[in-house]
Structure 1
Amino acid sequence: MKRRNLLIAVILLGAAVIFYRAFGTPDQLATGAAMVNVTVPELSETANEGEAAFNRLCASCHGRNAAGQDGVAPPLIHKIYEPGHHGDASFLLAARNGVRAHHWPFGNMPPVEGITDPEIAEIVVYVRELQRANGIY
């Protein structure tokens, strides 16, 4: 009888954990608000082109100036995406192939439809210039 009660308690606890992770708490509801404040420097010509491509292809999820959107997608202006942890090639692969969720609770990122390698390269220049202006090296 004690084992049966213990098994029921473990099952209920597991269900509660799954429910919490799936739905969170009311204060965790998505707002779409920018997740970080981003200082925008004077951009190079390539970064300006990258900004235009980013705004067209990435900002709907990652937000204006790559500041992320609460409940939608992470900020790219964050130490997690510094060059030593996520090299430039990781942005190329993410845009081409999508990414399984591994740092943030936003779910998987799908591949970016219609993006070209030159656009990705310009976007990387843009993101790296924003990162440096915000203390991320």
Structure 2
Amino acid sequence: MKPILAIAAILVAGGLGYALWPNASQTSQSDDVSSLEGGALVDVLVPDTLSQNAQIGQLGYEAKCAACHGANAAGEDGVAPPLVHVIYEPSHHGDESFQRAAEMGVRGHHWPFGNMPPVEGVTRADVTMITAYIRELQRANGIN
């Protein structure tokens, strides 16, 4: 019985240490991203035309996301990461990841920006349109 308790105590201590250690999970692949003009972290090519859903999403993005994630999802130096980045490609962060991030916030894990709080005042439908905008920006920049 004592070995089981010892193992359980080690697992609990390890989990707490991981959760509480500053930036423990931020073994970032993006530490080499440096600020461009205006504080943007990546250079984003904006497509000439957007679908209707992406146009609606652009309005939502500008109202609720751009203050942190920057114009055209290019990130903001010292504030928030770019969403037009391979880390957020659909096969790594699916559309539901954006839904959950907006609803519940996100614990920082890829970038050294800290945690993202929940976004107040957006619905699932809003996030669906915002995601359409982000996905079209990503495709225009070779992120599929």
Same fold (TM over 0.5): yes
Whether 2:60 is the aligned partner of 1:53: answer yes
Indicate the residue corresponding to 2:41 in structure 1: 35
Q: CA RMSD in A?
A: 1.8
> Which runs of 4 or more aligned residues in structure 1 lie more than 6 Å from their structure 2 counterparts after TM superposition?
none
- Pair 115,38 (structure 1): closer, same or farther in 2 beyond 3 Å: same
- Pair 90,60 (structure 1): closer, same or farther in 2 beyond 3 Å: same
Whether 2:102 is the aligned partner of 1:95: answer yes
TM-score (norm 2): 0.73
What percentage of residue pairs aligned between the two structures are identical?
61
- From 92, 95, 110, the counterpart of 1:85: 92
Indicate the residue corresponding to 2:25 in structure 1: none
Give the whole-Å Cα distance in 2 for the aligned partners of 1:106 and 1:70. Answer: 9
User: Could you give the per-residue CA deviations for residues 4-37 of structure 1, whole angstroms, max 9, x where no partner exists?
Assistant: xxxxxxxxxxxxxx8xxxxxxxxx99x9600001
Greater fraction of residues in helix: 1
Give the whole-Å Cα distance in 1 for the aligned partners of 2:126 and 2:43. Answer: 25
Give the whole-Å Cα distance in 1 for the aligned partners of 2:52 and 2:43. Answer: 23
- From 105, 119, 127, the counterpart of 2:112: 105
Indicate the residue corresponding to 2:143 in structure 1: 136
Give the whole-Å Cα distance in 2 for the aligned partners of 1:132 and 1:114. Answer: 27
TM-score (norm 1): 0.77
